[in-house]
Amino acid sequence: MNIILFGPPAVGKGTQSKLIAKKYNLPQLSTGDMLREAIAQGSEIGRKVSKIMTSGELVSDEIIMDVIKHRLSCNDCASGVIFDGFPRTKSQGESLHKIFMQMGKKIDYIIELSVDFTVLIDRVKARVSQTAPADRRPDDNPEILKKRLEVYEAQTAPVLDYYRGLGKLITLDGALSIESVSDKIFAIIDCKVK
Protein backbone atom coordinates (compact mmCIF):
# COMPACT_ATOMS: atom_id res chain seq x y z
CA MET A 1 0.00 0.00 0.00
CA ASN A 2 1.42 3.37 -1.06
CA ILE A 3 0.18 6.61 0.45
CA ILE A 4 0.96 10.25 -0.25
CA LEU A 5 0.32 12.67 2.59
CA PHE A 6 0.00 16.25 1.41
CA GLY A 7 -0.32 19.44 3.37
CA PRO A 8 1.34 22.75 4.15
CA PRO A 9 4.30 22.97 6.55
CA ALA A 10 3.39 22.52 10.23
CA VAL A 11 0.01 20.90 9.48
CA GLY A 12 1.09 17.64 11.13
CA LYS A 13 2.09 15.44 8.18
CA GLY A 14 5.07 14.07 10.09
CA THR A 15 2.99 13.16 13.13
CA GLN A 16 0.29 11.47 11.06
CA SER A 17 2.83 9.67 8.86
CA LYS A 18 4.44 8.16 11.95
CA LEU A 19 1.06 6.95 13.23
CA ILE A 20 0.20 5.38 9.84
CA ALA A 21 3.69 3.87 9.63
CA LYS A 22 3.25 2.23 13.03
CA LYS A 23 -0.26 0.91 12.43
CA TYR A 24 0.33 -0.52 8.94
CA ASN A 25 4.02 -1.36 9.33
CA LEU A 26 5.16 0.81 6.43
CA PRO A 27 8.25 3.01 6.16
CA GLN A 28 7.75 6.78 6.36
CA LEU A 29 9.61 8.49 3.53
CA SER A 30 10.04 12.07 4.69
CA THR A 31 12.26 13.92 2.22
CA GLY A 32 12.71 16.68 4.82
CA ASP A 33 14.03 14.14 7.38
CA MET A 34 16.31 12.56 4.79
CA LEU A 35 17.80 15.94 3.89
CA ARG A 36 18.25 16.89 7.57
CA GLU A 37 20.04 13.56 8.06
CA ALA A 38 22.33 14.36 5.10
CA ILE A 39 23.12 17.74 6.71
CA ALA A 40 23.85 16.12 10.08
CA GLN A 41 26.20 13.65 8.39
CA GLY A 42 28.00 16.48 6.55
CA SER A 43 27.53 14.69 3.20
CA GLU A 44 27.83 16.41 -0.19
CA ILE A 45 24.04 16.56 -0.55
CA GLY A 46 23.80 17.95 2.98
CA ARG A 47 26.21 20.76 2.14
CA LYS A 48 24.25 21.58 -1.02
CA VAL A 49 20.82 21.79 0.62
CA SER A 50 21.51 23.33 4.01
CA LYS A 51 21.15 27.01 3.01
CA ILE A 52 18.14 26.42 0.77
CA MET A 53 16.25 24.61 3.53
CA THR A 54 16.94 27.36 6.05
CA SER A 55 15.61 29.94 3.59
CA GLY A 56 12.28 28.10 3.18
CA GLU A 57 12.77 27.50 -0.55
CA LEU A 58 12.57 24.09 -2.20
CA VAL A 59 15.57 21.88 -2.88
CA SER A 60 16.07 21.04 -6.59
CA ASP A 61 13.92 18.30 -8.13
CA GLU A 62 17.10 16.54 -9.24
CA ILE A 63 18.44 16.14 -5.69
CA ILE A 64 15.03 15.10 -4.37
CA MET A 65 14.55 12.47 -7.07
CA ASP A 66 18.03 11.02 -6.43
CA VAL A 67 17.22 10.71 -2.73
CA ILE A 68 13.78 9.19 -3.37
CA LYS A 69 14.97 6.72 -6.03
CA HIS A 70 17.72 5.50 -3.75
CA ARG A 71 15.31 5.10 -0.83
CA LEU A 72 12.65 3.32 -2.92
CA SER A 73 15.22 0.71 -3.97
CA CYS A 74 15.63 -0.44 -0.34
CA ASN A 75 14.02 -3.74 0.65
CA ASP A 76 11.80 -2.26 3.34
CA CYS A 77 9.90 -0.26 0.67
CA ALA A 78 8.85 -3.38 -1.26
CA SER A 79 5.35 -3.66 0.17
CA GLY A 80 4.58 0.05 0.31
CA VAL A 81 5.55 3.43 1.71
CA ILE A 82 4.13 6.66 3.09
CA PHE A 83 5.39 9.73 1.26
CA ASP A 84 5.62 12.64 3.68
CA GLY A 85 6.48 15.98 2.05
CA PHE A 86 6.89 14.48 -1.42
CA PRO A 87 6.01 15.18 -4.24
CA ARG A 88 6.17 18.94 -3.78
CA THR A 89 6.37 20.05 -7.43
CA LYS A 90 4.64 18.96 -10.64
CA SER A 91 7.95 17.63 -11.94
CA GLN A 92 8.40 15.45 -8.81
CA GLY A 93 4.83 14.15 -9.26
CA GLU A 94 5.49 13.25 -12.88
CA SER A 95 8.80 11.56 -12.01
CA LEU A 96 7.11 9.54 -9.28
CA HIS A 97 4.44 8.46 -11.75
CA LYS A 98 7.12 7.24 -14.20
CA ILE A 99 9.11 5.40 -11.52
CA PHE A 100 5.98 3.69 -10.21
CA MET A 101 4.94 2.67 -13.76
CA GLN A 102 8.38 1.10 -14.25
CA MET A 103 8.19 -0.67 -10.89
CA GLY A 104 4.60 -1.86 -11.49
CA LYS A 105 3.38 0.02 -8.41
CA LYS A 106 0.46 2.39 -7.83
CA ILE A 107 -0.48 5.07 -5.33
CA ASP A 108 -3.43 3.84 -3.26
CA TYR A 109 -4.30 6.95 -1.23
CA ILE A 110 -3.57 10.62 -1.73
CA ILE A 111 -4.60 12.43 1.43
CA GLU A 112 -4.45 16.18 1.93
CA LEU A 113 -4.49 17.78 5.38
CA SER A 114 -6.01 21.19 4.81
CA VAL A 115 -6.00 24.06 7.28
CA ASP A 116 -6.22 27.84 7.35
CA PHE A 117 -2.67 29.24 7.20
CA THR A 118 -3.30 31.54 10.21
CA VAL A 119 -3.72 28.41 12.36
CA LEU A 120 -0.28 27.23 11.24
CA ILE A 121 1.38 30.56 11.97
CA ASP A 122 -0.14 30.56 15.49
CA ARG A 123 0.99 26.95 15.95
CA VAL A 124 4.59 27.75 15.04
CA LYS A 125 4.60 30.90 17.21
CA ALA A 126 3.52 28.76 20.17
CA ARG A 127 6.10 26.09 19.39
CA VAL A 128 8.94 28.63 19.16
CA SER A 129 8.02 30.11 22.53
CA GLN A 130 7.97 26.65 24.13
CA THR A 131 11.19 25.25 22.62
CA ALA A 132 14.76 26.02 23.65
CA PRO A 133 16.74 27.71 20.81
CA ALA A 134 19.14 24.75 20.55
CA ASP A 135 16.22 22.36 19.95
CA ARG A 136 14.53 24.45 17.23
CA ARG A 137 14.76 23.69 13.53
CA PRO A 138 16.33 26.65 11.71
CA ASP A 139 13.27 26.91 9.41
CA ASP A 140 10.69 26.55 12.21
CA ASN A 141 9.84 30.18 12.94
CA PRO A 142 6.94 32.42 11.85
CA GLU A 143 9.01 34.42 9.32
CA ILE A 144 10.35 31.43 7.42
CA LEU A 145 6.99 29.68 7.75
CA LYS A 146 5.37 32.53 5.80
CA LYS A 147 7.92 31.97 3.02
CA ARG A 148 7.32 28.20 3.11
CA LEU A 149 3.56 28.75 2.85
CA GLU A 150 4.08 30.97 -0.22
CA VAL A 151 6.23 28.27 -1.77
CA TYR A 152 3.55 25.69 -0.94
CA GLU A 153 0.85 27.71 -2.69
CA ALA A 154 2.98 28.46 -5.72
CA GLN A 155 4.65 25.10 -6.29
CA THR A 156 2.83 22.38 -4.37
CA ALA A 157 -0.82 23.40 -4.77
CA PRO A 158 -0.64 22.67 -8.55
CA VAL A 159 0.31 19.06 -7.72
CA LEU A 160 -2.80 18.82 -5.56
CA ASP A 161 -4.91 20.18 -8.41
CA TYR A 162 -3.51 17.48 -10.65
CA TYR A 163 -4.49 14.67 -8.25
CA ARG A 164 -7.85 16.34 -7.56
CA GLY A 165 -8.49 16.37 -11.32
CA LEU A 166 -7.89 12.63 -11.40
CA GLY A 167 -10.53 12.23 -8.67
CA LYS A 168 -7.93 10.71 -6.37
CA LEU A 169 -7.57 13.35 -3.69
CA ILE A 170 -9.09 12.92 -0.23
CA THR A 171 -9.11 16.14 1.82
CA LEU A 172 -9.27 16.11 5.63
CA ASP A 173 -9.51 18.96 8.13
CA GLY A 174 -5.98 19.39 9.51
CA ALA A 175 -7.23 21.67 12.31
CA LEU A 176 -8.80 18.71 14.14
CA SER A 177 -6.96 16.97 16.98
CA ILE A 178 -4.15 14.53 16.14
CA GLU A 179 -6.36 11.61 17.17
CA SER A 180 -9.38 12.75 15.14
CA VAL A 181 -7.27 13.14 12.01
CA SER A 182 -5.60 9.75 12.44
CA ASP A 183 -8.98 8.07 13.12
CA LYS A 184 -10.27 9.48 9.83
CA ILE A 185 -7.18 8.33 7.95
CA PHE A 186 -7.38 4.82 9.44
CA ALA A 187 -11.10 4.62 8.58
CA ILE A 188 -10.36 5.51 4.95
CA ILE A 189 -7.59 2.93 4.69
CA ASP A 190 -9.42 0.13 6.54
CA CYS A 191 -12.55 0.58 4.47
CA LYS A 192 -10.69 -0.02 1.24
CA VAL A 193 -8.44 -2.74 2.65
CA LYS A 194 -11.48 -4.81 3.73
Residues that bind ligand AMP (CB under 6 A): 9, 31-32, 35, 52-53, 56-59, 64, 85-86, 88, 92, 139, 148
CB of 53 to ligand AMP, least distance (A): 4
Contacts of 32 (CB under 8 A, 6+ apart): 14, 53, 84, 85
In the complex with ligand AMP, the residue whose CB is nearer, 87 or 189, is 87
In the complex with ligand AMP, the residue whose CB is nearer, 64 or 189, is 64
**Terminus-to-terminus CA distance in the chain, angstroms?**
13
Preceding peptide of 9 cis, ω within 30°: no
In 10 A of CB 103, how many CB atoms? 12
In the complex with ligand AMP, the residue whose CB is nearer, 40 or 191, is 40
CB of 57 to ligand AMP, least distance (A): 6
CB of 59 to ligand AMP, least distance (A): 4
Spatial distance between the Cα atoms of 86 and 174, rounded to a whole number of angstroms: 18
